[in-house]
Amino acid sequence: MHDIAILGAGRIGRIHATNAARHPGLRLKYIVDPMAAAATDLAGETGAQVADLETALADPSVAGVIIASSTDTHLDYSCRAVAAGKAVFCEKPIDQDLERARSAAASLGGARLFLGFNRRFDPHFQALKARLDSGAVGALETVQITSHDPAPPPVSYIKVSGGIFKDMSIHDFDMARWLLGEKVTQVYAAASCLVDPAIGEAGDVDTAKILLRTGSGKLCVISNSRRSGYGYDQRIEAFGSKGMVKADNVLESTVSVWGAEGAAADRLQNFFLDRYTAAYRLEMDHFADILSGKTSPAITYADGVGALELAEAAAQSVISGQVVTL
């Protein structure tokens, strides 16, 4: 059993702490958070101890650190944890500044660092990827990724999020890189503020369409919106030379009602923690396997930098109105 520490007792930290506390191969030893009440509450729920960062990193029994703190701490905490000899499971994005992220590649590029792009661990998306890899639809040609939130977050969050491309679209950039299987060489993005004028006043956009092109000509279209109005819309369609493979939305139930007016299905799941419950649990299984030496990180520091490059390119494209070549 491996002792671990979690940095961050907020919403995502609580998810990881709960999964870690339930995992048979892990023992959650420390909760680290500057908000003492949040740390104490989570420690009480999971049986962990409250500690400061220095104590957690100095403890030789701690084999791994989960970084679920605010985004502006991810890179610094990752560097400190790796320097202390710990394996790292860091939430996305690795940083909001591409040059800072690139500058840390020398120290973190070869580290046991697993970046938390959880959607790669979603069973539905994993099944789609397996079908692609098997050649079931022939050679991949184009991908369509739809990622629409049910409703926008508070403007107070928007102001510190880093913008829609680094906060929301970055999941889709990672999925695109994973599915396309080759380097994206061109990025074009168009964006508007159609959902909430306050988001525009905060300097961000809430609706975007992004087109990615690889060196061989494969295309990926990403559709993002901060508001769907009908639930958490998460779909992927991949088109190959022999057909299409599709991962559709997950509903609240499989029940549907049939009548003279037609058929009515249940609602879409409405919250990302519901939609990706299994993915978060499987991420923790993967981190436990990394600590046991059974595998290496499936999503590396280089993947984090690659997704951040696409986010920066999309933002540049919106400003210039031009295709950005990488």
Euclidean distance between CA atoms 119 and 57, whole angstroms: 29
Residue 6 banded pLDDT, cuts 50, 70, 90: very high
Mean pLDDT of the chain: 96
**Residue 68 pLDDT > 90:** yes
Percent of the chain surpassing pLDDT 90? 97
Euclidean distance between CA atoms 115 and 283, whole angstroms: 10
Q: Please give the pLDDT value at position 118.
A: 97
Closest by CA to 223, choosing from 257, 172, 154, is 172
List of residues 6+ apart from 106 with CB closer than 8 A:
none
Q: What's the pTM?
A: 0.95
| 126's tokens | 């994993």
Q: pLDDT tens for residues 197-222?
A: 999 999 999 999 999 999 999 999 99
**Residue 273 pLDDT > 90:** no
Q: Please give the pLDDT value at position 245.
A: 98
Q: Please give the pLDDT value at position 272.
A: 87
Q: What angle do CA 122, 195, 223 make, to 5 degrees?
A: 40
Mean pLDDT of the 112-131 span: 98
Mean pLDDT of the 97-118 span: 94
**Residue 255 pLDDT > 90:** yes
For residue 52, how far is the Cα from the chain centroid? 26
CB hemisphere CA count around 269 (13 angstroms): 15
Strand partners, 245: 238
Q: Please give the pLDDT value at position 28.
A: 98
> What residue type is 254 in one-letter code?
T
Tell me the pairing of strands 219-225 and 140-148: parallel
CB 180 within 8 A of CB 193: no
Using CA atoms, how far residue 104 sits from 80, 97, 225, 308, in Å, is: 12, 11, 32, 14
Q: Is 244 left (phi over 0), alpha (psi -120 to 50) or beta?
A: beta
Percent of the chain surpassing pLDDT 70? 100
Mean pLDDT of the 32-55 span: 96
**Residue 271 pLDDT > 90:** no
CB 314 within 8 A of CB 165: yes
Question: Which residue in this structure is represented by tokens 């061109």?
Answer: 186
